[in-house]
Structure 1
Amino acid sequence: MTKQIETSIRIKASSETVWDILTDFEKYPQWNPFIKSVKGEVKEGNNIEVRIEPPGAKGMTFKPKVLAFKPQKEFKWLGNLWVKGLFDGEHAFFLTAHKDGSTTLVQSEKFKGILVPLFSNMLDNNTLKGFQQMNEKLRELAEAKVLESAFNVVKP
Structure 2
Amino acid sequence: MKTVEAETLINARNATVWEIITDGGNYTVWDSGITRIDGELRNGGAVRVRTRTGGNRTFRLRIRQIPGEMMIWTGGLPLGLFKGVRTFTLTPHRGMTHLRVTEKFTGPLLGLLHKSIPDIERAFAEYVLAVKKRAELLSRHETRLHASPGRPWLESGDDKAG
Q: TM-score range by the shorter chain?
A: 0.7 to 0.9
Q: Which residue of 2 aligns with 1:65?
A: 62
Distance (whole Å) between structure 1 residues aligned to residue 72 and residue 103 of structure 2 = 9
CA displacement at 1:36 relative to structure 2? 2.4
Is residue 89–residue 110 contact of structure 1 (8 Å, CA) maintained in 2?
yes
Stretches of structure 2 that go unaligned for 5 or more consecutive residues are 153-162
- 1:52 corresponds in structure 2 to 51
Tell me which stretches of 4 or more aligned residues in structure 1 moved more than 4 Å.
none
1:138 aligns with 2:137: no
Task: Write the distance in 2 (CA, Å) between the matches of 1:27 and 1:78.
Answer: 21
Runs of 5+ in structure 1 lacking a partner? Answer: none
Which amino acid is the alignment partner of residue 109 of structure 1?
A: E
Aligned equivalent of 1:147, options 124, 140, 143: 140
- Residues 30 and 101 of structure 1: CA distance in aligned 2, closer, same or farther (over 3 Å): same
CA contact (8 A) 2:32 2:131 kept: no
Give the Cα separation in 2 of the matches to 1:34 and 1:20: 17
C-alpha distance in 2 between matches for 1:145 and 1:22: 13
Q: Which amino acid in 2 is paired with 1:113?
A: G
The answer to whether the 8 Å contact 1:21/1:138 transfers is yes
The number of equivalent residue pairs is 147
- Supply the RMSD in Å over aligned alpha carbons: 2.3
**Equivalent residues of 1:53, 1:60 under 8 A apart:** no
Is 1:88 aligned to 2:83, yes or no? Answer: yes
Instruction: State the 1:93 CA deviation.
Output: 0.4
Identical-pair percentage? 30
Give the corresponding residue for 2:108: 114
